[in-house]
A and B are shown apart, each in its own frame.
Chain A
Amino acid sequence: MLERLVARIPALLLAGLVLLGVLTAVWGAREPGRLLATAPAAVLLVAYLRAGRRR
């Protein structure tokens, strides 16, 4: 259980970063345009998760 959680740390950190990006863009600076800067990281997260499923 713990090992599985440890293996997911990179995905958890990346997901946290995407969440931070959305929070700051929409509710922090109130500049939804900044979501553009988080979009590539979100795409990277999805690709990483899909690659993890293939392994």
Chain B
Amino acid sequence: MIVEELVPGAAGWQVIVAVATFLVGVHAYRKLSPFFAITWLGAGLLFGALWSGVAVRPEVSLLPVVVFYLSAAVTKGLVETRDRVRGNHLVHVVMTGVFGGVIALAVESAGRSAGWVLPDTGASAGGFSPGGVPWRVVAGWAVASTAFYGLYKLLDHVGLQRPAQTVLLFAAVPFLVRGVEAVNAAL
């Protein structure tokens, strides 16, 4: 059947993640600010590059920043239409983590079906596996999304000047990765 040929292979997956990263950059630049686009994508790509086992393929380094951004954008869209939670940073960060898990579940399931290379979340397999994805892997993505967005939001709201905010953000990412890996290993 012709539809079977629409399922992307390894090269197609690389192109999809690269295009998605570009689109995320365009959205961040135009809808938020150039500063936000540069710091979010820079810190996100650093996070992706340092996350367990990600040095193997470029699309593996790019994927975390796409998942984090998508979950944060969707959360913003949903939270801003509800008066009770509008402007609540804690709700925003927690929901970004939850939606990061939901988005990662779809990515992981499709990726495992099609044989695409995915980041190693550091979480162990076993237990409940929705759609063939161990729940610990989904939880690992949720932890990573929460931690990354939490750090970004924290530094954005403590009243720092932009240069200090940027330096602290990039300096904190390696420690954030270690923290996420430790939590995921304990799950």
**Residues of A in contact with B (beta carbons under 8 Å apart):** 3, 6-7, 9-10, 12-14, 16-18, 20-21, 23-25, 27-29, 31, 33-38, 40-41, 44, 47-48, 51-52, 54-55
Instruction: Please determine whether A34 and B131 come into contact, CB atoms closer than 8 angstroms.
Output: yes
Contact surface of B with A, Cβ cutoff 8 Å: 1, 3-4, 6-8, 16, 20, 23-24, 26-27, 30-31, 66, 70, 73-74, 77-78, 80-81, 99, 102-103, 105-110, 113-114, 130-133
CA distance in complex: A6, B23 (Å): 8
Main SS at interface, chain B: helix
CA of A31 to CA of B7 in the docked complex: distance in angstroms? Answer: 13
Q: Once bound together, how far apart are the Cα atoms of A24 and B106, in whole Å?
A: 10
Task: List 21 A–B pairs whose Cβ atoms lie within 8 Å, in order of A's numbering.
Answer: A6-B27, A10-B73, A13-B20, A14-B70, A14-B74, A17-B70, A17-B110, A20-B8, A23-B7, A27-B3, A28-B4, A28-B7, A28-B114, A31-B113, A33-B131, A35-B131, A37-B131, A38-B106, A38-B109, A40-B106, A44-B99
